[in-house]
Structure 1
Amino acid sequence: MANIPTPAQLAYFAAHPHDNLVPDIIACCSVCGIAAVVFILLRLWARHLIHGRVVVNMSDWLLIIAFIFFAVFDICFALTTKYGSGRHIIYITDARMLQILNIVDENTYCYAMAFIKLSILKVYGDIFPSKKFHYCLWAMAIFMGAWAITFSASAIFQCTPIEYNWDLTIPGGFCINYGANVMAAGILNIFTDLIILVMPIPLVLKLHTSTQKKLQIIFAFALGSSACIISFIRLGYGSKVGSTADGSWDNIPAGLASVAELMIGILAASIPTYRPIYRRFMNGSAMAQTQAGYNSDRQNYGNDSSMNKSTLRRVQIFSQHDNEPREKGEGIHIAHQVEMSVYDSKEEDWDKKRRRQSDEERLT
């Protein structure tokens, strides 16, 4: 619950009627909301590229639930501008509706953040089969659930009775130090980000793959905790929550940081799933180059009759799921997109290479 403004503060508010953060709120909510929708759609498209149809697994469902909570948070935060949010406290038009929307925002933020991290943990569980590691994942998942329930409940019951949030005339009403509650939630949120970041590193280091590939995998997992950067920024702004006498103005930066934090969290949880999209665009360029090289080899072969046919090792591969028109002529036509790797049977370590590639494919 905010403090009561002093006469000097009231005079300052009255002297600055044009101070307005409403455009900032609307712009942030609009951009982040649209971006989050795009991130989810790209994730589903990546699933379609893999399976030929949209196959949604548990990690996808968890992130979709997180997106629903984020959407409610985003919309309600934008709606607060209708009742005075983004302006000084003396310009609030409906304190009751403003506080109700703020409580909804505080709750949906907690659950959106929790489900984003649960989605990342599920991805870890799908990749690494270690039973001990799965115990750690379950422990972290339970902790995130407890974190969300605890701090969402404290947001609802920060004042007793709840109506005391917007009606200070109620006899016997009181509020907890909600600013300390926000700081505790923010610190634990950052702590869980760091734990999730380091959890898979020991298992990645044991993979039968190159050091460069291991570093790439660790970097991909680190993206899942990249929202931690925004969490630090939000924590700085959160120090004012609950202690300011001008909450409708001073709390806005923390709200904007929260919107950006959740949006980046959705992106970070989705980036590792975008590999099929990246491969689609990269393979499109590679196929054009391969076609040019193939035609060049055929021309050279026609000019040099002594060239052995076995030296021609390029093939054309077309996928049934590609929307590009198929060209008639020479080439291999298959129903699904595949990768072909050729190993020289004379190499002693060819089996190690095969196992290394298998480990890398498991991570993709």
Structure 2
Amino acid sequence: MAADIPIENSNQYSLIATSALSIFIATFLVGLRLLAKTKGVGFDFSDYCIVAALLWNNAMHTCCLVLTTHGGFGFHLVDIYERFGANTVIFFFKGLMSFTLLWNCTVCFSKLSVLLMYVTLVPTLSMIKWAKCIGITIILWNSSNIVAGFLICRPLAKNWNPQLPGTCGSQPNFYFAMGIINLVTDLIIIVLPMPYLIKLKMPMRRKGLAMGLLSIGIGTWVITIYRQTLLPSLNFADMPHSGVLATILSGLEPAVAIGLACIPLMRPLFSRRQKPSLESHGTDHTYSSNSKSGGFYFRKASKNPIKDPTSTFSELYDETTNSSQVELRMEPLREATPAADACVAQEGKGKENWPAGSTPEQMIRVKKTWEVSRD
């Protein structure tokens, strides 16, 4: 059993303060995001992923706190052996492996949350395909990092007991490569929505604001790049002391990423204006155009009005009366079939409007009563 470690040097104070702050900031901002979503369109899979990322983040920083109070994190390895014994060293390196696993889980869910947010805000076929491809790549990358973390030393126990005979790969190179790929995926995720935002028909000021908010994740790059400069010179033979700053930055990065991913969705907390809703009266279905597929789809209407999907991220909504954001358009299917022919039954009219040779079973009745309201 690892002994209690006295808190007596600046490294320990830095680790405790950073982990406590990371837990508080991430939890606070995720809480604000969820509160904002209750005022907007409600929760979606993006929110579930950010909550999962928050839980992994808090577990990761709790691990860091325990390493400081029971694993000798912040002391030189020689001092840990002399003052606290070999069991404390083993406890530290086991905890370090756990920290790496938790870091990958946190990063994975935080990136998936951002991709799902993009799909909600820009629900086009191309965005969905790109988000799926990038999401699968991220899952495979983080999973391989976890597996590699266990296999880098043979036998496995040498990961946490350096005195055992065996071999280990280059751990600094492993962590450096992991950080480079992390930077590349961040860049891809930030660039992904920009072509769609550029095509929006809205004032340049609002378009620039939307692009700025969705690229706010660049703020984590400063942390990541600085950490990358430390990894090549990391001394794993004295990891409890030499790895303090790199570990602080590694823990701070996903916590900041989680917080920044929440900021674009907090607008409802600071705005009294009710965002527009689209409501269908007198019909059982609501219709929406899909310019990519060349047709339109419909879904079952609920009792409540359908809220604008941009009501939480309001920068995608243009409040001017001439905005092209509020537009109803139906486009015909590219390859129409007899079964797909539709009949529009207007008020006071009936069978005389049906195409010749049709029956009611082949018809889709649409009551042409639409209302777009601005509160």
**TM-score past 0.5 threshold:** yes
**Aligned match of 2:323:** 354
Provide the secondary structure at the position in 2 that maps to 1:216: helix
Provide closer, same or farther for how the CA distance between residues 219 and 232 of structure 1 changes in structure 2, counting only shifts above 3 A: same
Q: Name the structure 2 match of 1:27.
A: 17
Q: CA deviation at 1:201?
A: 0.8
Does residue 181 (structure 1) correspond to residue 174 (structure 2)? The answer is: yes
Deviations 1:17-41 (A, max 9, x none): x754101111111111111110111
1:261 paired to 2:253: yes
Structure-2 change in CA distance of 1:228 and 1:168 (3 Å): closer
**1:202 matches 2:195:** yes
Contact 2:72 2:240 (8 Å CA) reproduced: yes
- Whether 1:87 and 2:75 are equivalent positions in the alignment is yes
Rounded Cα–Cα distance in structure 2 between residues aligned with 1:78 and 1:187: 26
Give the CA deviation at 1:46. Answer: 0.5
Match of 2:35 in 1: 45
For 2:245 and 2:163, locate their aligned partners in 1 and report how far apart those are by CA, in whole Å.
29
Q: Are 1:275 and 2:267 matched, yes or no?
A: yes
* CA distance in structure 1 between the partners assigned to 2:111 and 2:222 by the alignment: 15
Aligned to 1:286: none
Q: TM-score, normalised by structure 1?
A: 0.70
In structure 2, give the amino acid aligned to 1:88.
H
* Counterpart mapping for 1:180-329 below 5 A: 180-241=173-234, 243-280=235-272
d(CA) in 2 for partners of 1:66, 1:202: 27
Residue type of the alignment partner of 2:194: I
Residues 1:127 and 1:90: Cα distance change in structure 2 (over 3 Å) = same
CA distance in 2, matches of 1:155, 1:111: 13
Give the distance between the partners of 1:358 and 1:117, measured in 2 at CA.
Answer: 32
The structure richer in helix per residue is 1
* Equivalent runs, 1:72-83 vs 2, <5 Å: 72-81=59-68, 82-83=70-71
User: Which one-letter code corresponds to 1:161 in the other structure?
Assistant: P
Say if 1:237 and 1:356 are closer, same or farther in 2 by CA, change over 3 A: same
Q: What is the number of residues matched between the two proteins?
A: 275
Q: Pairwise mapping of residues 119-158 of structure 1 onto structure 2 (< 5 A)?
A: 119-158=113-152
Whole-Å separation in 2 of the counterparts to 1:208 and 1:354: 8
The percent of aligned pairs where both chains have the same amino acid is 23
Alignment-derived partner of residue 97 in structure 1: 91
- Cα distance in 2 for partners of 1:226, 1:190 equals 12
Q: Is the 8 A contact 2:93 2:161 kept in 1?
A: no
Letter in 2 for 1:278: F
Unaligned runs of 5+ in 1: 1-17, 284-334, 340-349, 360-364
Shift of 1:351: 9.9
* 1:162 aligned residue: 156
> 2 CA distance for matches of 1:112 and 1:128?
25
CA, structure 1 residues 221+276, in 2 after alignment: closer, same or farther (shift >3 Å)? same
Q: CA deviation at 1:79?
A: 0.7
Instruction: Provide the alpha-carbon RMSD of the alignment.
Output: 2.7
Contact 2:115–2:135 (8 Å) recurs in 1: yes
Deviation at 1:65, TM superposition (A): 0.8
**Aligned equivalent of 1:311:** none
Equivalents in 2 of 1:214, 1:358: separation in Å? 18
Partner deviation per Cα, 1:28-85 (whole Å, 9 max, x = no partner): 111111111101110111022226xxx4210000011111111110000111112211
The structure where strand makes up a greater share of residues is 2
In structure 2, stretches of 5+ residues that fail to align are 1-7, 274-303, 309-318, 329-375
Deviations 1:305-336 (A, max 9, x none): xxxxxxxxxxxxxxxxxxxxxxxxxxxxxx99
Take 2:120 and 2:140, find their aligned partners in 1: how far apart are those partners?
23
The amino acid across from 1:89 in the alignment is L
User: Cα distance, 1:160 vs. partner?
Assistant: 1.2
